[in-house]
Amino acid sequence: HQWMLHQARVYKATGDEKYVKAWIEIYFDWLKNFPCGEGKTYDLPWWALQPATRAYDQMSIFNYYVGAESFTPGVLSNFLVAFHTHIKNITLNWYDTEGSNVRLTQEQTVFTAGVLMPEFKDAPSWYEAGKSAVAAQVHNQFHEDGVHNEFDLGYHIGAVATFYDIYKVAQVNGKESDLPSDFIASLKNAATFVKDIMYPDYSMEIINDTHADSWN
């Protein structure tokens, strides 16, 4: 569903309701055809990275579409139910490897949902779970020299970017003090490593699962 966020940005730029209508049709049809199971699941559409990345993007998609004419109260209700289902699914299906990029994405999503969706009665528990996890992950993700534990340059930059996004969300929502006191200092070596491995054109070696794309 990664294209859905780009579609929402096109709507924001054009104001054309056809983009909202297309998203409503496709997203809710997808939910009907791929319902979330109860409890622990290994169903691919609802396992590991998939629901976490969907839910994280949906927080932005919601803000792009919420003022649209086609975003009716009925659509809002269905969207919120589906969003809650996503976060509940994540908290029941934490990825087994705590120091992995997948687990970090899950925790970022739950933390952010707890901050940006406080109207949900479960939001406080989402926030507490995400906050505790993030506090541990800022140390679990990197070795003492700052290198990401999966030895993948793409994942390394992704992890640094994730922590940066977590920090900015906390900062602009008045929750910066809830992060560990050494949050920024803990990322110094990891950020410095990014600077050290990049070529002047912002390219890098293709090691492990890293893509050849430019990171500029």
The answer to whether residue 64 is catalytic is: no
Buried/exposed code over 157-186 (b: 16+ C-beta within 10 A; e: otherwise):
bbbbebbeebbebbeeeeeeebbeeebeeb
Buried/exposed code over 45-57 (b: 16+ C-beta within 10 A; e: otherwise):
bbbbebbbbbbbb
Q: What are phi and psi of 142, to 5 degrees?
A: -125, 145
The Cα 145–Cα 182 span in angstroms is 16
Residue 60 CB-density burial (10 A; 0-12 exposed, 13-18 middle, 19+ buried): middle
* List 27, 155, 164, 167, catalytic entry: 155
Do 108 and 130 form a contact (C-beta atoms < 8 A)? yes
SS3 content of the chain, % helix, strand, coil (to 5): 65, 0, 35
Distances (CA, A) of 129 to 2, 89, 115, 137, 173: 25, 14, 12, 12, 17
Q: What are phi and psi of 171, to 5 degrees?
A: -65, -50
Catalytic residues: 155
